Amino acid sequence: METRIKRTALNITTYCNLNCKHCLAFIPYYNDKHSMSIEEARGVLKNYFQVVDSVEHFTVTGGEPLLNKDVYQILNEVFLYEQQITGSVDFVTNGTIEISEEILRLFEAHRKNTKVVLSNYGVELSTKINVIEEELKRRNINYRVSKFYGNDLYYDGWIDFSDHSKKWNTIEERDKNAQKCVHRVGKYFVINAGEIHCCSRSFWRIHEGIIPKIEGEYVALMDEEIPLEQKRKDLMEMYEKKSSTSCGYCVGLCNDVPRVKPAQQLKFKC
């Protein structure tokens, strides 16, 4: 059985220097913030690329990944698996911190497979966005901007996922809604705390005890007691399912769900 998947995002930190009320990954609300060390990243990536034969898009994200002191080494490690990443290595940043020379050089060295994704919240929040964009342009590094201020918002704006009450009572209803969710249909996975999860909403709801942690809805990459073949099988089952438990508590990242203004800042640190 081959394990070919579309997308995975590796969360390398739950620290962020912004404090967005409707953060899709609930970053401001984590009490147990953590940045992945290079040693942890090596273990997670080694196990991930044993379980996954190939992935189209592999994203390094956070929180704000540039706050992780090992970010350069982690990116370097990710590029060691370039043969298994058929599309691009994506790097998401919020435009508040300039990208270091060593990281820019790394991106230049892997130009063909690199995509920097700049979340632009406007210059009041994304204070370094123009400098970063100019530098990427000058070096001919592939990037795109997700515009999250003013008009013409990327994805038409953000969605409020903070209501975790049960939304869909039957599997059919849950499947039906999840099949409108960009995240589900796009087959995104996330790696958080050494485990593959369906999405960051799902990980958060498990983390907070809102939903149970159910076998077959995550892959414990670092658990040496689980045979590799079992992990591969679990992953493909997750991949094929129309929805998971978390989708039952979720409005979904759907076109017909009302949008909220992106990047509203919480007044106080949670």
Positions that interact with ligand SF4 (CB under 6 A): 16, 18-20, 23, 25, 27-28, 62-64, 94, 178, 181, 183-184, 198-199, 201-202, 246-247, 250, 252-253
Task: Find the angle CA(202)-CA(208)-CA(211) to the nearest 5 degrees.
Answer: 55
- Residue whose CB is less far from ligand SF4, 89 or 262: 262
CA distance 137 to 91: 15
Measure Cα distances from 195 to 153, 189, 218, 230, 264 in Å: 32, 10, 7, 14, 30
Quickly count: other Cβ atoms within 10 Å of residue 232's Cβ: 18
- Residue whose CB is less far from ligand SF4, 28 or 196: 28
Q: How far is the CB of 33 from ligand SF4 (least distance, A)?
A: 12
Helical (H) or strand (E) element with 232? helix 228-240
- Residue whose CB is less far from ligand SF4, 191 or 198: 198
- Residue whose CB is less far from ligand SF4, 46 or 176: 176
Q: How far is the CB of 170 from ligand SF4 (least distance, A)?
A: 15
Q: How far is the CB of 227 from ligand SF4 (least distance, A)?
A: 27
Q: How far is the CB of 205 from ligand SF4 (least distance, A)?
A: 8
- Residue whose CB is less far from ligand SF4, 183 or 207: 183
**153 and 124 in contact (C-beta within 8 Å)?**
no
Q: How far is the CB of 74 from ligand SF4 (least distance, A)?
A: 17
**100 and 132 in contact (C-beta within 8 Å)?**
no
**65 and 18 in contact (C-beta within 8 Å)?**
no
Structure tokens at 265: 């800042």
